[in-house]
Amino acid sequence: MTLVLEQLLNGLQFGVMLFLLAAGLTLIFGIMGVINLAHGSLYMVGAYAAAFAAAQTGSFLLALLAGLAAAAFIGMVMELVVLRRLYARDHLDQVLATFALILIFNQSVTILFGRQPLFVAIPPALNGSVQLLPGLVYPVYRLAIIAVGLLVALGLYLLINRTRVGMLVRAGATHREMVRALGVDIRLLYTAVFGLGALLAGLAGLMAGPILAVQVGMGEQILIMTFVVVVIGGVGSIRGAFFGALIVGLVDTSLRAFAPGLLRHVMTGSEADALGAGLASMGIYLLMAIVLLVRPKGLFPAHV
């Protein structure tokens, strides 16, 4: 029973990470209509900037600030220099342009930091594990990630539903032309939203640093998963991104954790392992296909 609970926590933690990435992606997509393949690069930028700052200063707080600032800054520069010119264009042009950005980011990071993966320490205060229930020991750092992710989700909810900026964002996602026609400085709004999305991606990246490998190409690994979340949740919807991320996180984790074991009840060990692994790999894609076939606009579409 504690094993199931622990796996649920793992799924929650993974889902929360995905949410941080998906929130930015879905906002950028919903409001500006841009498919940004380079969103994963911002995740990488956050991780590298934090790793570098931590190595130079040894301070977790400075690393945190560096990661957030670098990702937001690079994101806004990206918007001003490249993406701004693409809003009126076709999705295909956006795909090619942001793919080009991925190449540029990856090679620049290789030149600046080398090809060797970087080391990031867990901040001492968050090191170690705590006992949540008898028999359920869980790393503090992962609990911290869950807490941060939920706080960000709450913050975004308040921002979008309770503030003027949020109102514009909501309006922008459903009636883009109308917002523009009302004389809102849409360019500033776009840059700000892009910066916010980049900041969240950077946050995800810097939090992932101590758990995963900080290396070139880390953004592309998680990018596709993030797109899956956005599409399952419904493009442009923060609420969709949140539930989509949790669903994907939980489904992915439980398939990996339980599918081989359950299959072992009905077939021999090695076959069950192979089939289970295959199922776990394909699981979320299968989930996305099914969701889209039943609800072509996703679970919580922004355009209600």
Q: Does 174 bind other proteins (CB under 8 A)?
A: no
* Contact region with other proteins (CB under 8 A), list: 110-118, 150-158, 169-177, 186-194: 110-118
State the minimum distance, in angstroms, from the CB of residue 164 to other proteins: 28
Instruction: Scan residues 196-235 and list those touching other proteins (CB under 8 A).
Output: 208, 210-218, 221-222, 224-225, 227-228, 231, 235
Residues facing 136 on adjacent strands: 133
Torsion-angle region of residue 118: left (phi > 0), alpha (psi -120 to 50) or beta?
Answer: beta
C-beta of 67 vs 205, nearer to other proteins = 205
Q: How many angstroms separate the Cα of 135 from the Cα of each of 1, 3, 127, 254? A: 10, 9, 19, 19
Q: Does 1 bind other proteins (CB under 8 A)?
A: no
The one among 56, 59, 110, 163 contacting other proteins by CB under 8 A: 110
Centre a 10 Å sphere on the Cβ of residue 65 and count the other Cβ atoms it contains.
15
Q: Does 112 bind other proteins (CB under 8 A)?
A: no
- DSSP-based three-state secondary structure for 77: helix
Instruction: List the x/- string, 9-28, binding to other proteins by CB under 8 A.
Output: -xx-xx--x-----------
Sorted by sequence, the CB contacts under 8 Å of residue 190 that are 6+ apart come out as 31, 32, 79, 84, 87
Half-sphere exposure of 238 (CA within 13 A, CB side): 23
Instruction: Scan residues 41-70 and list those touching other proteins (CB under 8 A).
Output: none
Amino acid symbol at 235: V
State the minimum distance, in angstroms, from the CB of residue 224 to other proteins: 6
C-beta of 155 vs 261, nearer to other proteins = 261
Q: Does 78 bind other proteins (CB under 8 A)?
A: no
Per the listing, tokens 């992962």 go with 142
Q: Does 155 bind other proteins (CB under 8 A)?
A: no
Q: Does 74 bind other proteins (CB under 8 A)?
A: no
Amino acid symbol at 118: L
Amino acid symbol at 32: M
Q: Does 298 bind other proteins (CB under 8 A)?
A: yes
CB 299 within 8 Å of CB 234: yes
